[in-house]
Structure 1
Amino acid sequence: MTKLNRKKMARKLWLLSLLFSSLSVANAQVVDVPLNHPSYRFIDRMEAKGLVRQVRNGTKPISRLKMAQILLEIEENASSSSLTRIEREQLQWLKSQFKCELERLGEGIPLASVSSPRWWALFPRKEKEGLICLDPVLAFSSQSKGSRRVYHRTTGVKVYGYLSDAVGFYLYARDSSEWAKGNIRWKPANPQEGFWDVPFPQKGIGHTGSYGKRIDHDEVDAAFSLRLPWFRLSIAKGSNTWGPGYRGQLALSDWAPSYGQIKLSAQYGNWLDFTYIHAFLHSNIVDSLRSYRTDQGYERILHKRKYLAGNRLEITPIPGINVGVSETIIYGERDPEILYLIPVMFLWSAQHYLGDPDNLQMSADIDLNLIRHFKLYGCIFVDEIYVSKIFTKKQHNWVGLQGGLFWVDLLENLDFRAEYTRVNPCVYSHKFPINNFESYGYLLGHQIGQNADQLYLEANYRYIRPLLLTLSWQQDRKGRVPNAYEQYHSPSQRFLSGRVKRQQSWALRVSYEPLRALFLKIGCRFIANPKGEQTELSFGLEYNL
């Protein structure tokens, strides 16, 4: 297919989607819950307690309407003894934040003290055309480790709303500054190294402006969604997480900066969810053919095109068991491929049809909630594997593995979690740099990167509804990252080969939420590695971050 024909076909698909949007629509809300919202932690706990059995929350974000439905299901299934007093307070607290969606479902808010609009949005506005809610975003934090100290300030706005019941929109914009005494937080020199050798590892940031000991950066997430009779269509800039992981996900995580995407999602009955995305990534590779310098010396730097296409099925064969399977493919240096724009396409075969120029990944995960108060989960991520020669040392098998246990109510309101993640050598990287599993210099998968593993233990205790205490222990190991020639010409790379970096840490964190979305956070972390021992202290006050 010529370049002109590909453009014509893409234009036809776009016009077809606009035609669908003009059809009659279902009565449903189409705005997602941000990935850091405390409701995700709460429903994870309720799922382990057996109070909700068909959540399928391995694909995030989920919609505000679905979250409201889950909260109602928990309330309907809960007896007077199945929820603790603090859990009942949490449930009502969260219901107040989904007031609009509960009203659409025909449900009221039982506690008048939290049903006032000021509790579910600071500036809500209802009109006959729909609803709009606006909240400011404010945050300040500091982190210190030895002689290094970093301060972080963020301001912004968060807006979401609905036009009738068919159209939803979301905007989350924030402007941040970071300044430091000592080395400032910065991106890793090599994304495949994960978070190693970074003074204060944090989730990805995009474009930055550097001013001595200060950097400025602004981030925005936005979405415009249409609810069609058969599926939901979104044009957005945001992040996705695929998989059951708690500390990080192998298939897709939110470690990298958010990216532009077209998303299609559908639910069939109460047992199957389907999601398709086509994302526009940042390659961080300069396109020398399109970049240039003017006669006056001004440079215009353009980067090579890079994309991610992926689809995911999540099913509940029986209540208490959720199974997910997904495919993703990274490609670039050309226009979007029509084969990768077909939501139900088997990407593995599509790549072969195109001559195998791209980087395909597959994953499967399971979430078991069969024993009350226990959740077991696991995931396998396959970058490349020879099934017929899986135990042959001369064949490279690039896989990642993750498994976890979540034990609820060891004592009342006390939880315990254990999670192990292993990423074999050569996972996430490719012989063609454009196909590396990364965007803007950050991994799209688990943040430890290849040839590494992580063991994470955590205990959470909620003393009162606003107050959460967390004690955690973490061990990380990281081997050498092989180059592209070694990756494709040497026998299978041994796990944790080369000089191994080791690090252990203990952490105590306190989170206090006296008002909706207002958090006071204090933390202390003790770190031990070959460079010595250090204590990291952190303090933060945030509203709607």
Structure 2
Amino acid sequence: MQNKTKLINLILLLCMLLLHQTVYSQSPYVPLNHWAYDFLERMETKHAVRGVLNHTKPLSRKEFANYLKQLKENVDQGFVLNKVEQEQLSFLEFEFREELGKEKSQKLKYRSRIQKVKNQKTIKKFFPSLFYKNNRNFISWQDEQIKVFFDPVYRYKINYRRPDSTNKPEKAFHFTNGFQVWGYLTKYFGFFVDVRDNKEWGDQKYPLGNYTLPGLGFVRATSADFIYHDETKAYLKFGIKNFQLIYGKFKNYWGSTNTGSLLLSDYATSYDQLKFEYRHKKFKFTSIYAFLIDYHFQLEDKLQDKKYLAAHRLEVAPWDWLSIGLSETVIFKGRSFEPSYLNPVMFFRSAEHYLGSPDNMMMGLDFKFTAFKNIKVYGELLVDDLTTTKLGTGWYGNKYGFSSGVFWTEPLKLNNFDVRLEYARIRPYVYTHENELQYTHYNSALGHWMEPNSDLFTFSLKYQQTRRLSFSGSFQYLRHGANTDQKNYGGSFDEYIVPIDAYYPGFLDGAVEKNQAIVFYSSYEIIRNLFCRLSIQGNNYFKKNGKKIKTTSLSFSLGINY
């Protein structure tokens, strides 16, 4: 009994020592749309930061802080940043100051516009002391153990779309309101809550009832004039040194492709999940057990059917100039708990065979190569099903997709300029399954947003004129072999093959649809996370019947923390 008590005390002591050494290892994630991801990619491509494991997203605030420390050390040792990059680095040191250990403002070079305004003599007397106490967040509160940060979420967007068939533009409006709360509960727990309500209205008429739309979850229309939809992302993190355990509702993005990951992207709405992470300077291991909605249209309010996702991923950087990611995912339903898939180190393909092969299982491989300064080469391979003896025959059961790209920073020595070229291709029937286990959540793709039997070419340019102001432009060419009323050519997420369908479909067989899009985009940050955005887009869409539809659209938005 005494030996047992001593053993328990020893275990408790070791846990306390581990916890004592932990400093914000459980830090919340950086939202997937934050510009810090683009900055980190540029710095790695320019060799200012090396060995970055950034293809398993989202990254935590602590991970970003570690890369910023490496960047700052390299700058102190002589690596030259231009003026805009220096401003971006200073701002990010301000943004991640808790994780960098720079909580005292005198250690920071950056001074926010809010800080400058509220310190003016005429304003200082009247500025409420409750707001922007830390010069960053709208409301903040902290003591020795707890830190809580609150920010509002608002966005108003207006879009004008003019089809070539009419001189009258179609107007659409989108209003979002909500809030973000995040912080730390001691050094062991972190949390994040993001609540958003959305209303959309305009010239178009909406079908009445409850349904879903691409990229969204539950949508409700009580009038033909508008729709409502909402989304809440919320999670709690527990961390000890390199280990993380997260439970909550949020998105993931696994892979190297910029326009949409083939295996696990952020296109669908967020989903509940239990997530485990282990981080090392040379590798990162992630395991997910998630709960999805197998959506079917219903006239009345009713609990939707469930399906489940198990996924794990190992991202390794054996050298500073190369990283490789290996991933597996499996979709299953009919039972909420499957021990074989809960095992984070289980080989899912073997487990699926052991269980009788009833589930929708996929494998992914991605890489990035940054040996040459200012050039990043990357790609992905997705394997849904594969029979090697039938490779090259066009058999429908060989279901795979791939993507590749090149990212070039400062081409021809043009400061703050970036060029990107990407190509993605998905064979027919990819993501589909005979047991109605489609690779979707709320009817939106968990992988790439384009349907199977499609390819996409993208060319884009970006210019960062100042830290706050950026301009970009892109050209996209999408081709899709759609199904017809008579036959399935493997061009839909929702339709699996039946005996009358094409067993040896050629790529882009079926009714070919094409879309050419040119987009110009600008963004200006007025104060922290308050963005004014403008985009102009022209589309040439060729329908199944060969008819061409030309549209031009203009959108403007003003939003904070959106």
Name the TM-score class by shorter chain: 0.7 to 0.9
2:521 — aligned with what?
509
2:457 maps to 1:423: no
Residue 46 of structure 1 is aligned with which of 43, 48, 57? 43
Paired residue total: 503
Residue 246 of structure 1 is aligned with which of 258, 261, 268? 258
1:90 — aligned with what?
88
| 8 Å CA contact retained: 1:396, 1:493 | no
Instruction: Find the aligned partners of 1:23 and 1:356 in 2 and give their Cα distance.
Output: 45
Q: 1:162 to 1:404 in 2, by over 3 A?
A: same
**350-359 or 120-129, larger mean C-alpha shift:** 120-129
Which string of whole-angstrom CA distances, capped at 9 and with x for unpartnered residues, describes residues 492-512 of structure 1? 321111111011011111100
Instruction: Find the aligned partners of 1:372 and 1:272 in 2 and give their Cα distance.
Output: 22
1:314 — aligned with what?
315
How far off its partner does 1:390 sit? 1.8
2:120 — aligned with what?
none
> Which sections of structure 2, spanning at least 5 residues, go unmatched?
1-13, 116-132, 163-168, 489-494, 543-547
2:188 maps to 1:166: yes
1:220 — aligned with what?
232
Which string of whole-angstrom CA distances, capped at 9 and with x for unpartnered residues, describes residues 301-341 of structure 1? 22222000000000001111110000000001222211111
2:376 maps to 1:375: yes
Instruction: Find the aligned partners of 1:33 and 1:213 in 2 and give their Cα distance.
Output: 36
2:366 maps to 1:365: yes
Residue 66 of structure 1 is aligned with which of 38, 42, 63? 63
| 8 Å CA contact retained: 1:97, 1:121 | no
1:440 — aligned with what?
442
| 8 Å CA contact retained: 1:382, 1:398 | yes
1:453 — aligned with what?
455
| 8 Å CA contact retained: 2:381, 2:401 | yes
**Which letter does structure 2 place at the counterpart of 1:98?**
F
| 8 Å CA contact retained: 2:205, 2:226 | no
**Which letter does structure 1 place at the counterpart of 2:375?**
F
Residue 465 of structure 1 is aligned with which of 460, 464, 467? 467
Percent same amino acid among aligned pairs? 33
- Mapping for residues 221-236 of structure 1, pairs under 5 Å: 221-228=233-240, 231-236=243-248
Which string of whole-angstrom CA distances, capped at 9 and with x for unpartnered residues, describes residues 181-225 of structure 1? 1256999x9x9xxxxxx9xxx733434344221001111000101
1:537 — aligned with what?
554
Q: 1:358 to 1:87 in 2, by over 3 A?
A: same
2:278 maps to 1:256: no
Instruction: Find the aligned partners of 2:435 and 2:105 in 1 and give their Cα distance.
Output: 54
Instruction: Find the aligned partners of 1:412 and 1:229 in 2 and give their Cα distance.
Output: 39
SS of 1:282's equivalent in the other structure is strand
**Which letter does structure 1 place at the counterpart of 2:390?**
K
Residue 128 of structure 1 is aligned with which of 144, 151, 158? 144
How far off its partner does 1:485 sit? 2.8
**409-418 or 321-330, larger mean C-alpha shift:** 409-418
How far off its partner does 1:346 sit? 1.0
How far off its partner does 1:52 sit? 1.1
Which string of whole-angstrom CA distances, capped at 9 and with x for unpartnered residues, describes residues 391-442 of structure 1? 2344631111110110001211111001111111101111122x10000010
Instruction: Find the aligned partners of 1:94 and 1:220 in 2 and give their Cα distance.
Output: 26
Q: 1:112 to 1:510 in 2, by over 3 A?
A: closer
**Which letter does structure 1 place at the counterpart of 2:385?**
E
Instruction: Find the aligned partners of 2:105 and 2:60 in 1 and give their Cα distance.
Output: 17
SS of 1:65's equivalent in the other structure is helix
How far off its partner does 1:30 sit? 2.6
- Structure possessing the higher radius of gyration over alpha carbons: 2
1:295 — aligned with what?
none
Instruction: Find the aligned partners of 1:400 and 1:305 in 2 and give their Cα distance.
Output: 27
Instruction: Find the aligned partners of 1:230 and 1:543 in 2 and give their Cα distance.
Output: 33
1:31 — aligned with what?
28
| 8 Å CA contact retained: 2:475, 2:519 | yes
How far off its partner does 1:68 sit? 1.1
Instruction: Find the aligned partners of 2:73 and 2:206 in 1 and give their Cα distance.
Output: 50
Instruction: Find the aligned partners of 1:477 and 1:274 in 2 and give their Cα distance.
Output: 35
Instruction: Find the aligned partners of 1:257 and 1:514 in 2 and give their Cα distance.
Output: 28
**Which letter does structure 2 place at the counterpart of 1:437?**
Y
Report the aligned-residue RMSD.
Answer: 2.6
2:150 maps to 1:153: no
SS of 1:66's equivalent in the other structure is helix
Instruction: Find the aligned partners of 2:500 and 2:140 in 1 and give their Cα distance.
Output: 56
**Which letter does structure 2 place at the counterpart of 1:83?**
L
2:121 — aligned with what?
none
**176-185 or 144-153, larger mean C-alpha shift:** 176-185
Which string of whole-angstrom CA distances, capped at 9 and with x for unpartnered residues, describes residues 251-304 of structure 1? 101100000000000013x11100000110010148xxxx9xxxxxx9662222
| 8 Å CA contact retained: 1:237, 1:259 | yes
Q: 1:431 to 1:179 in 2, by over 3 A?
A: same
SS of 1:113's equivalent in the other structure is coil
**Which letter does structure 2 place at the counterpart of 1:329?**
V
How far off its partner does 1:99 sit? 1.6
Instruction: Find the aligned partners of 1:77 and 1:234 in 2 and give their Cα distance.
Output: 33
- Mapping for residues 91-110 of structure 1, pairs under 5 Å: 91-103=89-101, 109-110=107-108
- Mapping for residues 182-201 of structure 1, pairs under 5 Å: 182-183=204-205
1:13 — aligned with what?
none
How far off its partner does 1:230 sit? 5.7
| 8 Å CA contact retained: 1:263, 1:278 | yes
| 8 Å CA contact retained: 1:326, 1:364 | yes
- Mapping for residues 320-339 of structure 1, pairs under 5 Å: 320-339=321-340
Instruction: Find the aligned partners of 2:108 and 2:28 in 1 and give their Cα distance.
Output: 24
2:153 — aligned with what?
137
Instruction: Find the aligned partners of 2:207 and 2:70 in 1 and give their Cα distance.
Output: 43
1:280 — aligned with what?
291
**Which letter does structure 1 place at the counterpart of 2:38?**
R
SS of 1:41's equivalent in the other structure is helix
Instruction: Find the aligned partners of 2:475 and 2:340 in 1 and give their Cα distance.
Output: 45
**Which letter does structure 1 place at the counterpart of 2:553?**
E
2:129 — aligned with what?
none
Instruction: Find the aligned partners of 1:180 and 1:113 in 2 and give their Cα distance.
Output: 41
| 8 Å CA contact retained: 1:265, 1:274 | yes
2:537 maps to 1:525: yes
**Which letter does structure 2 place at the counterpart of 1:33?**
V
Q: 1:542 to 1:488 in 2, by over 3 A?
A: farther
**Which letter does structure 2 place at the counterpart of 1:534?**
T
**Which letter does structure 2 place at the counterpart of 1:439?**
H
